[in-house]
Amino acid sequence: MFYDHVVPEDELLRHVDIAMYQAKHRGRNNLCFFDQAMQAVIIERAAMEADLRVALEQKQFILYYQQQITHDDQIVGAEVLIRWQHPERGLILPMDFIPIGEETGLILAIGQWVLETACAQLKRWESNPQTQHLQLAINVSAHQFHQIDFVKQITDILDKSAIDHSRLKLELTESMLLNEQTEITEKMHALKALGVGFSLDDFGTGYSSLSYLTHLPFDQLKIDRSFVHNIGVNHTDSVIVQTLIGMTSNLLDMQIIAEGVETEEQRAFLEHNGCDLCQGYLFSKPVPLAEFEALLPKS
Ligand code: C2E
Ligand code: MG
Ligand code: MG
């Protein structure tokens, strides 16, 4: 098949290796031909991984904060969203490096840094009446949460930062909750006992099993922005949003927050149906700390 390609032997073997890796990646009993694009992806990934290690050492990550707001415009806190200030490529969004972090295990160090930095911020806010009520929601990755000593890691950070534990909220996604139910329940209950809160992120996009909601100690449910986007556009999604709000407040006694709120129409619909909190570009994009603080009311 490769007789008309003049490729040196070792290069050819490398190609075979890449194709085999791809075939394995796709599952059992697979056949895969090498193509140049595969190699480009692998080279790009390797470069990213090396850069990520440097980023950790040189502290190139920054936290952005996106306010979470009540219907009477009170800012109750923010979701913390990581950005990577790459020296050559500029600002990189999480979807372009978190997956590589997950694959390489570097997410553990990244996640640790996010938690420490956010808790240190909560501590600084404690002494100021303008900020001491604020809560921060942190995204936790699957890899991080499934670490055997996850509870200890969080406890250590809480001890070190000496913050009011109830200011910290951890965002989990449904895909993290599929297996090892006992382990998940134990971890969540242990952290809950310390006062840490939990939010179920991107609700509606995964399995949306009601058993998570009834069996696991979530304080908050976050309606995924794809549903919010369709308010007033797609009837089914509008009804889903209405139903989720009704279910959380009447049945489950959880708080509900909508993410990705971009229009006044969406905000009004959410308020009318009893949604507790909103987050989205309508109020503010995720912004660096100083800008977030500048948005807080002066009193
Ligand atoms: P997420 O947790 O669902 O975060 C919400 C995403 O929606 C953020 O994207 C935010 O910028 C975006 N967003 C907020 N308001 C609006 C809006 O009105 N319209 C639209 N179209 N989008 C809006 P971002 O910052 O790019 O983060 C993407 C994802 O990366 C997050 O999704 C989260 O899963 C992950 N992520 C972010 N920071 C961290 C982190 O520190 N650790 C981990 N493990 N994952 C993180
Ligand atoms: Mg989130
Ligand atoms: Mg989300």
pLDDT computed for residue 288 by the predictor: 98
261 pLDDT higher than 80: yes
Total count of residues recorded for the chain:
299
pLDDT, average across residues 134-162: 96
Kindly report, residue by residue over 18-54, the tens digit of the pLDDT.
889 888 888 878 888 888 888 888 888 889 999 999 9
Q: How many CB atoms lie within 10 A of CB 130?
A: 12
pLDDT, average across residues 252-268: 95
Ligand 3 centroid–CA 139 distance in Å is: 9
149 pLDDT higher than 80: yes
Ligand 2 centroid–CA 224 distance in Å is: 9
Among 130, 76, 134, which Cα is nearest to 297's? 130
1 pLDDT higher than 80: no
User: What are 245's strand-pairing partners?
Assistant: none
CA distance 20 to 10: 15
**Quick one: pLDDT band at residue 3, thresholds 50, 70, 90?**
low
Q: Is the C-beta atom of 176 inside 6 A of ligand 1? A: no
Kindly report, residue by residue over 68-98, the tens digit of the pLDDT.
999 999 999 999 999 999 999 999 999 999 9
**Quick one: pLDDT band at residue 194, thresholds 50, 70, 90?**
very high
CA distance 194 to 166: 8
Of 100-104, 159-163, 174-178, 232-236, give the lowest mean pLDDT range: 174-178
Pick the CATH number of 60-295 from 3.30.2350.10, 3.20.20.450, 3.20.20.70, 3.30.70.1230: 3.20.20.450
pLDDT computed for residue 146 by the predictor: 94
Ligand 1 atom nearest 93 alpha carbon: 26
Nearest CA to ligand 1 atom 42: 139
Ligand 3 centroid–CA 202 distance in Å is: 4
**What share of the chain has pLDDT > 70, as a percent?**
98
Every domain of the chain and the residues it spans: 3-34, 60-295
pLDDT computed for residue 249 by the predictor: 83
pLDDT, average across residues 223-237: 95
Q: Which ligand is nearest to the CA of 80?
A: 1
pLDDT computed for residue 274 by the predictor: 95
Tell me what the pLDDT averaged over the chain comes to.
93
Ligand 1 centroid–CA 206 distance in Å is: 16
CA distance 73 to 36: 53
CA pseudo-torsion sign 250, 204, 71, 268: negative
